[in-house]
Chain A
Amino acid sequence: MSHIALPSPDLAILQRRNDILKQLKKLVPGAILITDQEGRRTFETDALTAYRCLPLAVVLPQTTEEVSAILRFCQENHIKVVPRGAGTSLSGGALPLEDAIVLCLTRMNKVLAVDLVNRVARVEAGITNSSITDAVAADGYFYAPDPSSQIACTVGGNVATNSGGAHCLKYGVTTNNVLGVRIVLMSGEIVDIGGPSLDPAGYDFLALIVGSEGQLGIVTEVTVRLLKAAEGARPMLMGFESNEAAGSCVAGIIAAGIIPVALEFMDRPAIHVCEHFVAAGYPLDVEALLIVEVQGSEDEIDTLLEKIGEIAEDFNPTMMRRSGSAEESAKIWKGRKAAFGAIGQLSDYYCMDGVIPLSKLPKALDEIGWICRKYRFDVANIFHAGDGNLHPLILYNANDPLQLERVELCGAEILKLCVELGGCLTGEHGVGIEKRELMRVQFSDTDLSQQMRVKAAFDPDWLLNPGKVFPLEGIGLQ
């Protein structure tokens, strides 16, 4: 275990475990209840695998009413609850607690209604992100947020962390694409927030719920906006001699009034690893690579790529190549999407998610390199360039506890740098347990107290996903 502490368990709850499980079983006979050690082991961690903890039990309900009954029971008995979707959180958002029930929503995975006239769909929270698009793709529609984990992650988890993806520069993140939720409060109360129409009545609770990391309630249904897919899309590769040139080119494209649908950046180490892994056709003799994708009709795509090429000329690109076919486009994206996997083949890595103002890109990459050298780690940078969302992947050996501790310190220093440069700790992965103690770098105690008061307005006893998001010692002081 590393230096991030979990709240100490409530011994009274641990002692009552058998009794609690018996009552739960009676309460929701239709739900799957996992109590044995082997079964619970499956749920002991999420995608931040350095941290593990066996929960009291795992429940997989199938209806909102079951969720309600479980939460009411837990509230009455003062039992903590950790909500979970597919467990792909990179920040430990779904990490169990020893004295908590894990409430896993993956059995609630149906599309409830598709309304193409009004361009909305209502789905259960445990459905995977890409299943939504699968359900409407035949009619030419899609659900816009596309996190890299989209074939596995659930839309409920997307709501919890306000997930983005490669295409959010144009289409926005989860909060811009969700219109309503059915949420169960810790009291068991079922509340419908928002709905299919575009504006909410009264306060915008949805703004608070999206990105609240499962701390305000458990979302069981989500109403999402559907968009019509573009006529076509095509990427272009551009290589540069320096990170600075690539960064300036991104700024130049945006300043020219062009918002590409995706604008991805990779540095030299990332390019090499990806190219060796999938042979995407990336140039190996460049310091920085941009993947720029635009959409529209064939003519529109040609015109836009032409224009982007002209802009890039000012920054001395060492190569530019427009994709000439659907196969080539697929290959280009395959390289980018396989980046994490490719690096994972080489080494364990610690994935950061800081955000910086775009103009600070060269400085940020320089300093990140320097910080990693100081801690004696290699780093590869992959980056949603249009919106300043950095993903430095720090390579380390997870089996070495000293390295784990060092890599966390290294990561923390990188995130502090992002905040100093005017950015933030996390762009799409969430705070979870990972960045909990760093919240004070970005926020004052007054800011955090206000957020915690909002948490308490929904969950006065702090039973839902406690020990996440906020610095441990501050909890309860608001």
Chain B
Amino acid sequence: MRVGFHAPDTVEELAYLVAEAADTRTPLEVMGRGTKREVGRPVQYGAVLSTESLIGIPIYEPSELVLVALAGTPLAQIEQALAENDQELPFEPVDLGPVLGFGPGQATIGGVIATNLSGSRRILSGSARDHVLGVQAVNGRGETIRAGGRVMKNVTGYDLGRALAGSWGTLAVMTEIAIKVLPAQREVRTVLCFGLADQNGVEALCLALGTPFEVSGTVHMHAELAECFSDQEIANAGASVTAIRVENFPASARYRSSRLKQMLQAYAPALELDTLRSRIFWNEVRALKMFQKADRPLWRISTLPSTAPKLIHSLARKIDVRVLYDWSGGLIWLETPPISDAGAVEIRRNLAEIGGHATLIRAEASARAAIDVFQPLDRPVMALTASLKQAFDPVGILNPGRMYPGI
């Protein structure tokens, strides 16, 4: 197989290339536009296989809440098509481009699903993977397979589509994805508390999630991160920021934010953002604006809200960390100093005690070569991981070694 960059514009050609790579045992770097190609263990590939030329939206039925897109379709194009019909991607995918040295809005839908990138609304609407209704993909044998479909409910056969979400291109190359979409929210309200310590901030967020008001965003961050926001009242507060979002029809959103403020009185809610200011704020959260400047390692940690402050407190005693709590603390974006292990030893030692897992999203290649980028797995899960890889990609040519050695 020819070394270099391949971006086939038909699925047939893509399948042919994969089959050829399987024959010649050529390891392929599988990607969309490559905005996240620096995430993972550094590996030598024989050729690059990109889905960036598979562009288009063959099916979009707003009244059925279904959109089918070719994998290389830019997210921006999909979001524009949705916006024209007052709809949106419910899982509000985080835009990793800017923190990884790319422009905003460049990711492809294939890349977003392959990495299961969900944003703040995940707590209400579910993850990227939850919205996958079906896929077409090319497995490591070069066979084109379909799984799932284009309807909302489907238990016909195994759910291979959702299983490909979060597999980082190591099982199959997705070529087409059917996703569930939802009506866009008309009115957005954000209730803000300032100056809460982490423990109290997370408490307030958990309290908000325990209300019936369909809270769709819960973040908490220290003052130094809040400075980056373009909303001056937030940037200049000089205090930690705890933000809670509700979205709905106008009257409902207003009613719900006012009830939330009452319920959060102990935490002294000080500011409420209207729709426009809310949109700007949450878009900046979505683009991880607070982590765009620094060239420090960036981690994504999944844990439980109730233990998140303890984890950070414990880490902060050993290393200098900058922290964004999302999902009420269930998701932590963490910047660490540029030390040789990017803080991996401390992070994973603490997670082993407290529970949760961590993925290194941004770091020098040397650091990514030296430590586990993805969370090490227990022996039985690792064994299943190897079996599943074998079931999809028996020769091991699709992003081999990117997640785990030998996978």
Q: Residues on A close to B: CB < 8 A?
A: 115-119, 140, 161-162, 164, 168-169, 172-173, 175-176, 185, 189-193, 195-205, 207-208, 210-212, 228-231, 251-252, 254-259, 296-297, 299-300, 303-304, 355-359, 384, 386-389, 422-431, 435, 439, 442-444, 446-451, 453-458, 469
Do B212 and A428 touch (CB < 8 A)?
Answer: no
A197 touches B255 (CB 8 A): no
Using an 8 Å CB-CB cutoff, how does the interface string of B139-167 with A read, 1 for contact, 0 for none?
10001111101111111111110110111
| Chain A residues with CB below 8 A from B209, complex form | 119, 228
Q: Given A117-B305, A204-B167, A259-B182, are A389 and B160 also a contact pair (CB < 8 Å)?
A: no
Smallest CB-CB separation from A427: which chain B residue?
B153
Question: B interface vs A, CB < 8 Å?
Answer: 61-66, 86, 116, 118, 122-123, 126-127, 129-130, 139, 143-147, 149-160, 162-163, 165-167, 171, 182-184, 186, 206, 209-212, 249, 251-252, 255, 302-306, 327, 330-331, 355-357, 374-375, 377-378, 380-381, 384-385, 387-388, 390-392, 403-404
Measured CB to CB, the nearest residue on chain B to A353 is B155
**Least Cβ–Cβ distance between B339 and chain A, in angstroms:** 23
Interchain CB contact under 8 A, B153 and A387: yes
**Closest Cβ–Cβ distance, residue A249 to chain B (whole Å):** 11
A447 and B167 within 8 A (CB): no
Closest to A460 in B: B387
Closest chain-A Cβ to B285's Cβ sits at a distance in Å of: 17
- Residues of chain A lying within 8 A (CB to CB) of residue B303: 197
Interfacial chain B residues near A451, Cβ < 8 Å: 147, 157-158, 160
Q: Contacts A175-B130, A201-B374, A450-B392 hold; do A422 and B150 have CB atoms under 8 A apart?
A: yes
Is there contact, CB below 8 Å, between B61 and A446?
Answer: no
Nearest CB of chain B from residue A103's CB, rounded to whole Å: 20
B210–A388 CB distance below 8 A: no
Q: Which residues from chain A contact B130 at a C-beta distance below 8 Å?
A: 172, 175-176
For the A-B complex with A359-B64, A439-B157, A457-B388 known, give 11 more contacts whose Cβ atoms are closer than 8 Å. A191-B378, A198-B331, A204-B129, A204-B166, A228-B212, A258-B183, A303-B252, A357-B150, A358-B61, A442-B149, A451-B160
Contact of B153 among A208, A229, A388, A457 (CB under 8 A): A388
Q: How far is the CA of A203 from the CA of B206 in the complex (A)?
A: 28
Q: Which residues of B contact A191 (CB under 8 A)?
A: 378, 380-381, 384
Give the docked Cα–Cα distance between A258 and B65 (Å). Answer: 11
Tell whether A199 pairs with B331 under 8 Å between CB atoms, given A357-B64, A358-B64.
yes
Flag if B61 contacts A447 (CB, 8 Å).
no
Across the interface, which residues of A come within 8 angstroms of B167, CB to CB? 203-204
| Residue from A192, A199, A431 within 8 A of B157 (CB atoms) | A431
- A454/B388 in contact, CB under 8 A: yes
In the complex, how many angstroms separate the beta carbon of A246 from the nearest chain B beta carbon?
14
Leading 10 A-B pairs by shortest Cβ distance: A257-B183, A207-B162, A387-B152, A427-B153, A251-B63, A201-B357, A457-B387, A453-B391, A201-B375, A207-B163
